[in-house]
């Protein structure tokens, strides 16, 4: 009876979430393995679990408890907003979402049944290449391997794999539970079946998907790069403070956040990495960014960047 009650409650929850645009499209992907339990990886795990996908989140043992707490807090906020007048449905949604997530420091068992592997680790080419080579050896033939990189070419990351037709990019945006866009990246080797499966899964987790070829920066970051660089240059020249630049873009251009708040969310270390990438078309060293990174002020994930966060 308890199972029957919970099942019917979750049908109601699923319908309500679907109406909110979070899960509307059928997908052949059911088990998702995510490498990297930081802000991005935890967010991808959350939206996948909320839409009834089984998720395994992989990282070092000391990282996983923080990720688990972060996901619990975020799911509770989603439930409170979605089920304001229904405490039982809210509780059932939280329990079922968290029940869909497993944490692992050793991924082999999860990889053996994965439909999709998503990598959301540090923007280090060698690290990503080694990770995917390991997955290529362990995962079954059906498994799609996808990177969440925002600055590297997918082709460079996947170049030594055997299953090139089952590789691609899935580029999310922070914070993942809030941002609606998902860039689906196809290389010259990505098969139509793989691209269609990634797109269907993106829609199934409630994202608006856009297609892009494997070009540095894809769509958003290719356009965002010059904007961010000019904002940094303005502040370094003394034309305006970073606080006033942010406020100007929010009130004058209608942006939800200014460029410096955005840098805090994406990570100042990531921006520094972009500036050190000789292949990136908009790279430009910044003493201001380098100083903050050297001080360990990387943005939201460390509690301080341009702004302080509790």
Q: Cβ of 5: how many Cβ atoms within 10 Å?
A: 11
Q: Which of 183, 189, 271, 286 is catalytic?
A: 183
Distance, CA of 53 to CA of 41 (rounded, Å): 15
Using alpha carbons, select from 156, 163, 226 the residue that is nearest to residue 191.
163
Residue 150 annotated among the catalytic residues of the structure: yes
Beta-carbon contacts of 143 under 8 Å, excluding residues fewer than 6 positions away, are 111, 114, 115, 116, 117, 135, 163, 166
Nearest to 52 by CA among 92, 110, 87, 1: 92
E strands in the chain: 31-35, 54-58, 101-104, 116-119, 144-147, 167-171, 181-186, 208-213
**Residue 251 burial (10 A CB sphere; 0-12, 13-18, 19+):** exposed
Choice among 174, 221, 271, 286 that is catalytic: 221
| Catalytic residue flag (residue 68) | no
**3-class SS at 35?**
strand
Q: Active-site residue among 150, 174, 271, 286?
A: 150
Quick one: which of 122, 181, 121, 131 has its CA closest to 158? Answer: 131
183 is catalytic: yes
| Whether residue 171 lies in the annotated active site | yes
Closest residue by Cα to residue 143 from 41, 56, 42 = 56
**Three-state secondary structure string covering 184-196:** EEECCCCCHHHHH
Catalytic member of 171, 189, 271, 286: 171
Tokens 């997955």, located at residue = 135
Active site residues: 150, 171, 183, 221
């Amino acid at each position: 009876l308890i199972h029957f009650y919970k099942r019917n409650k979750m049908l109601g929850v699923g319908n309500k979430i679907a109406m909110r645009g979070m899960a509307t499209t059928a997908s052949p992907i059911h088990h998702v393995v995510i490498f990297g339990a930081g802000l991005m990886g935890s967010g991808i795990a959350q939206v996948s679990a909320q839409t009834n996908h089984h998720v395994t989140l992989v990282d070092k043992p000391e990282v996983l408890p923080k990720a688990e707490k972060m996901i619990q807090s975020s799911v509770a906020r989603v439930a409170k907003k979605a089920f304001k007048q229904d405490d039982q449905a809210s509780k059932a949604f939280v329990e079922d979402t968290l029940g869909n997530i497993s944490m692992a420091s050793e991924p082999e068992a999860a990889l053996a049944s994965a439909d999709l592997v998503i990598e959301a680790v540090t923007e280090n080419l060698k690290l990503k290449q080694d990770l995917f080579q390991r997955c290529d050896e362990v995962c079954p033939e059906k498994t799609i391997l996808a990177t969440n990189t925002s600055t590297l070419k997918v082709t460079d990351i996947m170049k030594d794999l055997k299953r090139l037709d089952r590789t691609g990019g899935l580029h999310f945006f922070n914070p993942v539970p809030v941002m609606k866009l998902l860039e689906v990246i196809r290389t010259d080797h990505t098969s139509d079946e793989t691209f269609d499966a990634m797109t269907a899964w993106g829609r199934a987790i409630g994202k608006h998907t856009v297609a892009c070829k494997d070009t540095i920066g894809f769509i958003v970051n290719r356009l965002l790069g010059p904007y961010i660089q000019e904002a940094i240059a303005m502040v370094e020249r003394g034309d305006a403070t970073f606080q006033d630049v942010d406020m100007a873009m929010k009130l004058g251009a209608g942006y939800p956040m200014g460029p410096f708040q955005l840098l805090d969310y994406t990570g100042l270390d990531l921006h520094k990495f972009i500036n050190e990438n000789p292949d990136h078309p908009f790279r430009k060293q910044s003493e201001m960014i380098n100083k903050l990174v050297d001080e360990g002020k990387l943005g939201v994930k460390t509690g301080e960047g341009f702004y302080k966060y509790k």
